[in-house]
Amino acid sequence: MLSRIIGAVLALLLVAGPLRADDTVVTLAAGGLVPLGSTAIRMESEDLEITPRRITIHYIFRNPGDQDESTVFAFRLPDLDGMGLCFSPYVLPRRNEVNFVGFGVMSNGKPISTQMEVRAIHEGQDVTPRLKAAGLGANVMIEPLNAALSRIAPEQAEKLESEGLIEVQQFPVPLQITGKKRGWCAAWTMRVQYSWTQVIPANQVMEITQFYSPVVGGGYFSATNNDSGYVANYCATPETTRAIAALKAQAAESKDTGTLLYEQAIDFTLRSANAWSGPIGIFHLTVLTKDPNDMLMTCMPGLQRVSPTKFELEKDNFQPSEELKLMILQKSHPWGW
């Protein structure tokens, strides 16, 4: 069943390569706002809300000093590997766009104007100038890449291939730009960063809201799966373990070999908050699920169910030491969230 689901997703994403029965959709971790360089600005509060569709973070930053503080705020999208995009199943919130998570930021209800920097990294080197000289950008998305390659001289493409910057591949469905299954994959990693300069007056606070869509991973769970990974990676509670065991027992009794549960994995780079001066004054986390029967697993201590589809925790003077990993198990199709 998963092979049919993932196959349909891959066809939409134009991802090449064979798919095994145990393949899963890959998650990519992003985080919050960080300063570029040292700063005296403190994060007085962080209100983080996570759903499989959207991550929203409401901050209050404080300048505790007696002078105005000019700080460069930044947000880096997850690095996107071109070959990984061709051979691994990703479900990107916005296909073909450089801003593939739909990042935005506001202050007092008004959008903040940001600068976007897009770089291409290959074997540890910045090859953005080399691509630009050949008439290409740093975008690794398959359709935009092949559209750009169709506009340059064939000998230029051959040279890029000989340099190991692009590779020829056969895709499962024809490319929209050429109508052919044969095309190119980028061999570099796309690195996207948004930034802007913010002045916070002396002894004042500033409210900023950040939002984007997570790159959600996951797969499926059947009666024959070993669920020990949930315990090890997501600290599954005894209650969750018993619920999974009950579903497996019911499936065994009815000889059901199909999908019991779908997975939705969401990773968040929580330690990015440590780049600010001091700990987070008040940290509030909310996780929303779709259905009351959904099971949420995480190793974050203190996250409690407060309503059928809502989980919360709050910490004072919080300095994250671990990243946040969430796993939602649900009976309904996750891509229909």
Cα end-to-end span (Å), the chain? 18
Cα–Cα distance for residue pair 290/333, rounded to 1 Å = 11
Per-residue pLDDT of the chain (337 residues; tens, 9 = 90+): 333 333 333 333 333 332 223 346 788 999 999 999 889 999 999 999 999 999 999 999 999 999 999 999 999 999 999 999 998 878 899 989 999 999 999 998 899 999 999 999 999 999 999 999 999 999 999 999 999 999 999 999 999 999 999 999 999 899 998 899 999 999 999 999 999 999 999 999 999 999 999 999 988 887 777 777 787 889 988 998 898 888 888 888 888 777 888 999 999 999 999 999 999 999 999 999 999 999 999 999 999 999 999 999 999 999 999 999 999 999 876 654 4
H-run or E-run covering 89 = none
d(CA 222, CA 327): 16
C-alpha 263/C-alpha 329 separation (Å) is: 5
Contact 139, 109 (CB under 8 A): no
pLDDT given at position 274: 96
Look up the CATH architecture of domain 2-336: Sandwich (2.60)
Closest among 32, 74, 50 to 273, alpha carbons compared: 32
Domain boundaries along the sequence of the chain: 2-336
Mapping DSSP onto H, E and C, the string for 312-329 reads EEEEEEECCCCCEEEEEE
CA dist 168 and 185 (Å) reads 6
Nearest partner of 31 among 79, 65, 85, 69, judged by Cα: 79
Which residues are within 8 A (CB) of 37 and not within 5 positions of it... i.e. 6 or more apart?
71, 72
Distance CA 78, CA 62 (A): 27
